[in-house]
Structure 1
Amino acid sequence: MKIAIAGASGFVGKNLVKELEKNHEIIGLSRAKKADTNHIQWRDCDLFSMLDAEKGLAGCDVAIYLVHSMRPSAHLTQGTFDDFDLIVADNFVRAAEACGIKQIIFLGGMRPEDKSQESKHLRSRWEVEQVFRKSKVPSTILRAALILGPEGSSFHIMARLVERLPFMICPTWTYSHSHPIALSDAVAAIDYCVGREETFDQVYEIGTEQSVTYVELMKKIAAKLHLKRSILTIPFVTPKLSTLWVCMVTGAPRELVRPLIQGLRTSLPLRPEKLLRIPGHQYKTVDQALDEALGNYQIKTRPLAFQPSPRGRHVVRSVQRMEAPKGITAEQAALAYLVYLPKANPGLLKVEVTGRWIYFCWRWPYTRLLVLEYSPERSKSDRQLFYVRGGLLSKKTVRGRLEFREILGGDAIIAAIHDFQPRMPWYLYRWTQALFHLYVMKMFGAFLNKNGEVQYQRPPNLEKERHP
């Protein structure tokens, strides 16, 4: 069986490859170029590109998704990690459907009993789960609270805190409970589900049935490292303060730490009726999982999640989510955008359409600010794609693109610019054009909501000509 793994270079992915290669052909998907080995074939794949995702999944039987988007994916990112996660997952699902994938396996996160206490990070994991569950491809969802492994970001943060701080001040919410899982058990659960039809379209929870707090975990780590540590609990340490000192002590990036800290505030119970039970397999206890993780732990190593994401210099990604009025499709949102810009700047801007080409122009003196090429081959009613082909404000690129897409079953519309390269000097761009774009998209969202029942007409001749 040929298995594609998105996130094969991560700490779960690397260990999963070692297990699956015994019986399967493995395809690793990565933004960074990697050399093939006897164990894995690597395919260059930026999952923000649906075309890349389709090429990455081509010819595979099963697709495993181990990705999150908390690291920056461009030199400048505008938007939130949960919206980035949605785009990547949506591309993965669309590509899986196009490539005839037989099963998707997603390793996600637990949900708290009180959904009102759910952190943004945990809610993002749930939204991604919904993307897979609504797919035409059978999905297997595995929910885990905390994976204990030597390169796991959460484990590494706790171990660094224990090693570097003889005295720690912890907020009361570090006493929230969870059910951790050993890395080897997480790998075993994924391996068990591969190609197993009884797990199709099912949601499972995985982890030890032993409940433990994060403070208890740090105390156990200290004991196993033979370190004497004192922990004082106080109620007024805010998540922002916690994020600051955790970043300073551990060296972890703020984009990673902040959502993880927010996720600690809620207990994450494991429901026994949802537990994935693997015949002949016993989940490790918390102490056994920590022994396994500490056996290969090195404080001087930088986990993949701590490292800068591979990204081009002076490249921009900007993603905005907008509530979709009833009946509004991505196609209608794209057409509304062509109507909105001139209305928002009467007498200054106009939009010209010639075949596949769309020009956003300054009226006087006449200047083409931005040139887009519509791609009917890559567009559908629920996703519209335009390539950025230059203009006064943009360099001409191959991959730069603007898209509108429906997400979460059409409940929202995402407008996104990917791989955009501005023409003006970088620092000038960051404090002028970049901020203006955010303002324009915010106002466009309000315009779309206000005029939700309007049906916009496609400009005549759009997509008939290939060249300007």
Structure 2
Amino acid sequence: MTETKRRPVVALTGASGYIGNHLLTYLTKFADVIALTRNADNKEDSEHVTWRSCDLYSMSDADEGLKGADFAVYLVHSMMPSAKLTQGSFEDMDVILADNFAQAAYRQGVKQTIYLSGIIPKAKKLSRHLESRLEVEEVLRAYGTPVTAIRAGLIVGPKGSSFPILAKLVKRLPVMALPKWTRTKTHPIALADVLQALQKSIGNERLSGRSIDVGGPEVMTYKDMMIQTAEAMGKQPKLFNLPFLTVKLSRLWVSLTTNTPKETVYPLIESLVHPMIAHKELMDEEVSYGKTTFKEAAKQALEEEREEQERQAKKPKKPNVAPSEIQHDVRSVQRIPLPEGKSANWAAQYYVKWLSGVMNPLLTAEVDKELNCKIGFHFLLTNNPLLELSYSHERSQKDRALYYITGGIFDNKEKNERGRLEFRKIPDKNECIVAIHDYMPSLPWFIYKYTQAKAHLWVMYQFRKHLERRIHQSKPFERDWPTYSETSPC
């Protein structure tokens, strides 16, 4: 993209992250940037950068974040927990984030979304990580905004995920037993080459709607990369092949050795059984062919890391400050099947009826004409329910049912500002995401974590199994359909 009379406006998600922060510098040369991050309070706007706080788990936040954007760059991935207690898989979290973003991009008139994805091998069964990347591509395309997916393998840079893990292994282990996956071929690419590919894709109509593989000048094994990384460090570790170390054992060993959270390591190691080589038919002359060799990129990454450590060491130490109160918030996300032709709103209403039936006589669930719901214990000597859910007619639609948590014994009324429960159909699939966001429980945290939180997981597991059995047996659901003509137990 080149300079025009009116500078284009690019919304950049994950702007304070590893790749986003580097890309921000590139983009300001030709565009005005809306830099989106979960907390922009400590960020200062500049001539060509406007910071906005944006939690993409919130659809309304996504709408506000993308207002005024011509193009958008999507760099979001949810491997790490996003709340004090996070229940659910990163795949399901990624679906919610991408769906909110895609709907907002369509409503705000974004002309093109650029998504940094992963190379997708030609395999019958992909790893969870790669399946998720592909699913996110599909969700981002589901509402009509043209998407350019830049698919990269291992990105060589000072931070991020894969290369720093590899570098830590080489640095910390003078002797390395190499499992089978270290002989898998991959197509590493330097961070600078990825940034150029992303930049050149923005506003590029020729690439709009396409998935483009990118890679550096070399195809290598992970063992080759370890050897060259060791050479860049001036080390000579002893390496020997180990045929029997499984992926499950490898991921634990890598996590412990590198002191990297398992939420990051496990999905990445599981993906290493696949060759991650760019496909010629998906490569483009303008953006696909990185020119930086692996060893050059590794040396630069290691040097940048060393310089950053020196800068941090020279910074004056901040005085000890009493820690602020910990936010005891909850995010719980589960995926359930949907019968053919059923919507998210159907799933929400059917769930309430099923819950009252399966938990009878312990629980009662009442729904009024406005679809507001109260869930309580039969034996409580009070009219106050356990939870009170208010249906949002304004924010709900056929494929999304949204309830705000507005009361009940289990609701922390003082702190619960954005607590909500949603049912969301995944585009083009007979599947639904059921999610609790920003919930602040009233129970003491330790008690909540091992009682109410566990009970919710059990209930959602039973509901999923119930739906799977009914769908498999081809039993009709219509006779179970609840009638809400008046406020009454479901």
Does structure 2 retain, via aligned residues, the 8 Å contact 1:4–1:63? yes
Number of aligned pairs? 454
Asked if 1:291 is matched to 2:296, the reply is: no
- Distance in 1 separating the partners of 2:63 and 2:424: 17
Q: More relative contact order in 1 or in 2 (CA 8 Å, sep 6+)?
A: 1
Residues 176, 5 of structure 1: alpha-carbon distance in 2 compared, 3 angstrom cutoff? same
Does structure 2 retain, via aligned residues, the 8 Å contact 1:144–1:205? yes
Q: Structure 2: give runs of 5+ residues left out of the alignment.
A: 1-7, 311-323
Residue 76 (structure 1) shift: 0.8
Asked if 1:436 is matched to 2:436, the reply is: no
SS in 1 for 2:159: coil
Q: How does 1:426-465 map to 2 (within 5 A)?
A: 426-451=445-470, 453-455=476-478, 456-457=481-482, 459-460=484-485
Residue 214 (structure 1) shift: 0.8
Residues 345, 420 of structure 1: alpha-carbon distance in 2 compared, 3 angstrom cutoff? same
- Distance in 1 separating the partners of 2:288 and 2:19: 22
Does structure 2 retain, via aligned residues, the 8 Å contact 1:73–1:311? no
Asked if 1:26 is matched to 2:42, the reply is: no
Partner of 1:42: 51
Q: Which amino acid aligns with 1:319?
A: V
Asked if 1:368 is matched to 2:377, the reply is: no
Residue 361 (structure 1) shift: 1.8
Partner of 1:254: 262
Does structure 1 retain, via aligned residues, the 8 Å contact 2:102–2:141? no
Q: Structure 1: give runs of 5+ residues left out of the alignment.
A: 303-309, 463-468
Residues 264, 410 of structure 1: alpha-carbon distance in 2 compared, 3 angstrom cutoff? closer
Residues 280, 441 of structure 1: alpha-carbon distance in 2 compared, 3 angstrom cutoff? closer
Does structure 1 retain, via aligned residues, the 8 Å contact 2:217–2:289? no
Q: How does 1:2-151 map to 2 (within 5 A)?
A: 2-33=9-40, 34-38=42-46, 39-116=48-125, 118-151=126-159
Q: Which amino acid aligns with 2:92?
A: D
SS in 1 for 2:394: helix
With the length of structure 2 as denominator, give the TM-score of the two structures: 0.88
Does structure 1 retain, via aligned residues, the 8 Å contact 2:68–2:108? yes
SS in 2 for 1:368: coil
**Worse-matched range after superposition: 329-338 or 236-245:** 236-245
Partner of 2:363: 349
Residues 429, 299 of structure 1: alpha-carbon distance in 2 compared, 3 angstrom cutoff? farther
- Distance in 2 separating the partners of 1:207 and 1:30: 28
Residues 245, 311 of structure 1: alpha-carbon distance in 2 compared, 3 angstrom cutoff? farther
SS in 2 for 1:115: coil
1:47-79 CA-to-partner distances (Å, cap 9, x unmatched) read 111111111111111111011100001111111
**Worse-matched range after superposition: 231-240 or 261-270:** 231-240
SS in 2 for 1:68: coil
- Distance in 1 separating the partners of 2:470 and 2:248: 38
Out of 374, 394, 400, the position equivalent to 1:377 is: 394
- Distance in 1 separating the partners of 2:288 and 2:268: 33
With the length of structure 1 as denominator, give the TM-score of the two structures: 0.92
Out of 422, 428, 433, the position equivalent to 1:409 is: 428
- Distance in 1 separating the partners of 2:27 and 2:183: 36
Residue 378 (structure 1) shift: 0.4
Residue 451 (structure 1) shift: 4.7
Q: Which amino acid aligns with 1:386?
A: Y
**Worse-matched range after superposition: 18-27 or 283-292:** 283-292
Does structure 1 retain, via aligned residues, the 8 Å contact 2:86–2:331? yes
Q: Which amino acid aligns with 2:461?
A: K
User: Among the aligned pairs, what percent are the same residue?
Assistant: 41
- Distance in 2 separating the partners of 1:433 and 1:241: 33
Q: Which amino acid aligns with 2:457?
A: L
Residue 311 (structure 1) shift: 12
Question: How well do the aligned residues superpose, as a CA RMSD in angstroms?
Answer: 2.2
**Worse-matched range after superposition: 151-160 or 30-39:** 30-39
**Worse-matched range after superposition: 118-127 or 293-302:** 293-302
1:101-131 CA-to-partner distances (Å, cap 9, x unmatched) read 1111100011122232x21111111111111
